[in-house]
Structure 1
């Protein structure tokens, strides 16, 4: 019989707010992102002597996006604390990102006093109802003595299976109560592993395949898993691709890499995926973007043999009925794959080489673009000049197509961007990553409309002396919407034009470095000056509105749409 584990003794009396912060410390929390609110003043007071780094932001949307970026970069829950009502509503955008991107996050929200609930009290909100559909768990702590239990469950829920966000509401009067409840032991996420029978079936499927493809995606990866997958790929000489905005999961210069399935994906990779007779999907969900509008595989029964490996069992069979489903975290599955014996015959070798050659041809040379400033040239220069551990952060917009196509992410967690396609993400994400890694180069790439959705967090970068580099791609338009507009209503522009500020002057107004670039040849000097300034910087790129995608112009899209009518 194992030794009996006695329960821990009651802790010293302290406020529930102090117990909350102690529980955060016990779980290894080192960063918290917040906009201060009167509803959780006792928590702010407890944080002041906790040793946790607190980043005070300018808007709760930025707060939640910073927490999401932290979760993406570390695999640990990003912690954010916002006030009730309007503060919580502002944070919803970041919460939605964490849900769609499978990012661990815990959002603590102030709440009205328990005795005032259901009166529509000042800034009152029903958080279970408001966030129940976009959080893995939304709850409210009514009994102060149970706070350690609730916080422990929040950590376990955020990190287990398919990771995601948790919302915990904190009634104002509850935080002031004195409790003696012991702290819960630190959370240890469960890592599901494949069974030997499943590995044997996978090996048999590989032995029968002629055109296999490994597709990497999702979260819950680690440096060891990154290396284990590389070992597996090299042993089997297997072609490998990455899912939408999961480019850092495999080295793009490895001879087995075939590219990424995202927006404006290489048509040759899309064709190769459709032609595969065995698709091994490891970690990801193959959502709408990666599946090219759910066009790659039949639903619910894929035409090709699909092996779906995912840490959340509820995701297996949710959209696609796999030939083989394996409930396993990428860390455990990668380790198992590294131990699989390679088959003597690998008839797909030439296909692996061809896939990499197609990727290199797709990403090597900039495409023609209207105007004097080519974003392809900008990305190729960044690729050449930035160190391998530099981190690129971006939000949403057609400008990101140039990042996906031309930039090369050589290390894990060096691209921090929302798969949910949420705008306004690049600046707060860059702030969070620079707080986490102050010695690394952090570049935020943004569209013009994209930047101004959370550009106020540039002030946070200045406040904390974080020399991030923000590139603003200004085409005076909501470009993605304008592109769709030209396809559906050619020549009828409505609601997509923008009149923008001088973004370089905007930077200088905050105390940062600013530069404006109108020609490709002037970008290297601007980047060098921004890095040498040692200050948060904005490089304002003036781009033709007609330059909408690599190798494609708005005018060409319009002409094609008119010709088809």
Structure 2
């Protein structure tokens, strides 16, 4: 007769479930409400990365999920600790990133009594998570954890929140571990494949749009092979530039903020839009203006890993329920029977993209176009590039080429403060891989304290801070709407290079274009976390945009 599993405290059971689900790293800030789990981590082969703020910790877990495709894991304590992590949950929810947030809670007997740091989990996180649950019985930890991993990874990925009452984690029970649950990938039926082929044969001006989550190397290869066989022009959703090798002859650029006008016109003129992994949302379609909503727009093929209600603005002609890998497997051998009529157009769009992404030098003493050209030449093909939100990201989006092995970790929900934690997490996950983070001065100081985490953990990202002493994106809008009336956008900044050195990192300051190359080489070779502060020429806000140019434009309106 089989023997019952040995009795274990809840904290040990929880960490054993993480091991069973292949978790090797968790991020967090310690709290008294989950001491039993921390104690179990002491003897477990699971690395606990101790962060300096729960927002930074949760961003690291989110970036881990983006990079690996497996749920990132974060631990926080109750109340303020948990709510500090909410920003990363919103990012994971909008960016379709698998993430699990474990939150230590007040003891079960203290609930609903306005206890110290008590928190209503569902009320706080319900709108930004796929699932929110509290584990009140230690014997059910394996069940809840297995479900959490499956929900976070299935369909359209996203965040899951699990509450851990403090006293539940110290209960000792006998329960077996739970095996990981399967994650369905969907598929493309033969009839649907035939319908897709018929739509392609009837088209004259098709466009492919890639985005969303659940992209694997196999998915990328399959979709690329299909697109190349049909000479289909491939665009990507906002901050999804690593979904196809940017050197592919069918790649025509990114949509969203900072996109090329030529590409926007291409979408307006399309008679067939094939969306794989994403829907035509507001960012990719310029606030839903690129696609008509009166029924005169292109036919739409929608490939998603999760069933969604029929689109109201842009109903799909063909809907396929498949993750990108399943779709790529189905279409990679699909071939046209005759030359496609849009091949010349695709070549023209490709040429337009190459022209758009070629840096055009400015006359600034520190020319950022040249800086990013130098950076792009120096990065290996498998580099990880991270950034947060703001005008500083436009240079990284437009002038860096994301090749077959390059990964882009950036928040599609426009969340500032993301780039530094993401870079630290990427450097921890793969120490042999080059990681570079592009930060604005405003963005850096939202989570720059995680540079201490990088130094402590021996992680060696290179951080490039563009310092123009302003919240650049808002200043640009301000100058366009209220020229000359600067209010609420100016910044007083520290010496970023000295700040980096105070953390124990390598720090340099660059004020002239010719100084950047040598500073980059020293930073790449220093063997530890490094920061290069770029003293942006006064008035520079974006490529081709200065305060003076905006005021000149406004004077002619």
What is the TM-score normalised by the length of structure 1? 0.96
Superposed displacement of residue 198, structure 1: 1.4
Instruction: Report the aligned-residue RMSD.
Output: 1.5
Matched residue, 2:288: 294
Q: Which residue of 2 aligns with 1:405?
A: 398
Between the aligned partners of 1:484 and 1:189, the Cα distance in structure 2 is: 44
Displacement of 1:544 in angstroms is 2.6
Q: Which of 295, 305, 312 is the equivalent residue of 1:311?
A: 305
Distance 1:310 1:133, change over 3 A: same
The separation in 1 between residues aligned to 2:418 and 2:312, in whole angstroms, is 28
Shift of 1:316: 5.3
* Structure 1 residue 560, shift from structure 2 partner: 2.3
| Shift in Å, 1:262 | 2.3
User: CA 1:58/1:318 → structure 2, altered by over 3 Å: closer, same or farther?
Assistant: farther
Change in Cα spacing, 1:61 to 1:9, as seen in structure 2 (3 Å) is farther
TM alignment of 1:383-422, pairs within 5 A: 383-412=376-405, 414-422=407-415
1:511 is matched with which residue: 486, 504, 509? 504
* Length, aligned pairs only: 557
Is 1:372 the counterpart of 2:365? The answer is yes
Deviation, structure 1 residue 413? 5.8
Residue in 1 aligned with 2:154?
160
Q: Does 1:87 align with 2:78?
A: no
- Which residue pairs with 2:332 in the alignment? 338
Report the CA distance shift for 1:194/1:372 in structure 2 as closer, same or farther (over 3 A): same
Say which SS state the counterpart of residue 54 (structure 1) adopts. Answer: strand
The alpha-carbon deviation at position 545 of structure 1 amounts to: 4.2
d(CA) in 2 for partners of 1:475, 1:528: 23
Residue 469 of structure 1 pairs with residue 423 of structure 2: no
Distance 2:373 2:280 in 1: 28
Task: Answer with 67-76 or 462-471: which moved more.
Answer: 462-471
1:201 and 1:302 map into 2 onto residues whose CA distance is 21
Question: What is the aligned partner in structure 1 of residue 57 from structure 2?
Answer: 63
Q: Do structure 1's residue 426 and structure 2's residue 439 form an aligned pair?
A: no
Report what 1:253 is aligned to: 247
Task: Tell me whether 1:198 sits opposite 2:192 in the alignment.
Answer: yes
The 1:253–1:316 alpha-carbon spacing in structure 2 relative to 1, beyond 3 Å, is farther
The aligned residue for residue 549 of structure 2 is 556
> What CA distance in whole angstroms lies between the structure 1 residues aligned with 2:200 and 2:237?
21
> Which of 344, 349, 353 lines up with 1:359 in the alignment?
353
| In structure 1, distance between residues paired with 2:368 and 2:244 | 24
Give 3-state SS (helix, strand or coil) of 2:487's partner: coil
Give the 3 Å change call, closer, same or farther, for CA 182–318 of structure 1 in structure 2.
farther
Q: Structure 1 stretch 456-465 or stretch 374-383: which is displaced more?
A: 374-383
Aligned mates of 1:228, 1:125 — CA distance in 2: 45
Instruction: Kindly report which structure 2 residues correspond to 1:118-267, keeping only aligned pairs within 5 A, or say none.
Output: 118-267=112-261
- State the secondary structure of the residue aligned to 2:128: coil
Distance 1:183 1:9 in 2: 14
- TM-score w.r.t. the length of structure 2 is 0.97
Confirm or deny that 1:442 pairs with 2:435: yes
Identify the range of structure 1 (490-499 vs 318-327) with the bigger mean alpha-carbon deviation. Answer: 318-327
Partners in 2 of 1:339 and 1:63 — Cα distance? 42
Is 2:110 the counterpart of 1:116?
yes
Indicate conservation of the 8 Å contact 1:34/1:63, yes or no: yes
Q: Secondary structure at the match of 2:229?
A: helix
Deviation of 1:481 after TM superposition, in Å, equals 0.7
Change (3 A) 1:160 1:413: farther
Contact map agreement 2:390 2:440 (CA 8 A) in 1: yes
Assess if the C-alpha contact under 8 Å between 2:383 and 2:406 holds in 1: no
Moved more, 180-189 or 515-524: 180-189
Return 281-290 or 495-504, whichever deviates more.
Answer: 281-290
Q: In the alignment, is residue 491 of structure 1 matched against residue 484 of structure 2?
A: yes
How far apart, CA to CA, are the structure 2 residues paired with 1:192 and 1:422?
31
Partner deviation per Cα, 1:123-178 (whole Å, 9 max, x = no partner):
11101110000000111111221111111111111011100000001000011111
Partner Cα separation in structure 2 for residue 337 and residue 479 of structure 1: 43
1:257-306 C-alpha deviation (Å, 9 max, x unpaired):
11111212111011111111111010112322211222121348561111
**d(CA) in 2 for partners of 1:429 and 1:436?**
10
* Counterpart Cα distance in 2 of 1:422 and 1:399: 13
1:118 is paired with a residue of what secondary structure? coil
Question: C-alpha distance in 1, partners of 2:464/2:96?
Answer: 27
Please give the per-residue CA displacement for 1:3-40, whole angstroms capped at 9, x wherever unaligned.
xxx9x974211011111111111111111001111110
1:207 aligns to what SS in structure 2? helix
Shift in CA distance, 404/152, structure 1 to aligned 2, threshold 3 Å = same
Higher mean displacement: 281-290 or 499-508 = 281-290
Greater CA deviation, 8-17 or 135-144?
8-17
CA shift, 1:378, in A, is: 1.6
Checking the alignment, whether the CA contact within 8 Å between 1:479 and 1:545 is kept in structure 2 is: no
User: Which runs of 4 or more aligned residues in structure 1 lie more than 3 Å from their structure 2 counterparts after TM superposition?
Assistant: 299-302
Identify if the C-alpha distance between structure 1 residues 9 and 352 changes in structure 2 by more than 3 Å, giving closer, same or farther: farther
C-alpha contact (below 8 Å) 2:466/2:533 kept by paired residues: yes
1: distance between equivalents of 2:4 and 2:126?
33
Q: Is there any run of 5+ residues in structure 2 with no aligned partner, and where?
A: none
Give structure 1 stretches of 5+ with no counterpart.
Answer: 1-5
Matches of 1:65 and 1:526, distance apart in 2: 28
Secondary structure at the counterpart of residue 245 of structure 1: coil
1:521 aligns to 2:514 (yes or no): yes
1:191-236 CA distance string (max 9 Å, x none): 1112222111110000001111111111101111111112111211
Matched-pair contact (CA < 8 Å) for 2:274–2:300: yes
1:3 aligned residue = none
Q: Secondary structure at the match of 2:167?
A: helix
CA offset at residue 363 of structure 1? Answer: 1.1
The SS at the match of 2:470 is coil
Distance in 2 between residues matched to 1:286 and 1:73, nearest whole Å: 24
Q: Is the 8 A contact 1:302 1:322 kept in 2?
A: no
Alpha carbons 1:101, 1:420 under 8 Å: kept = yes
Post-superposition offset of 1:517: 0.4
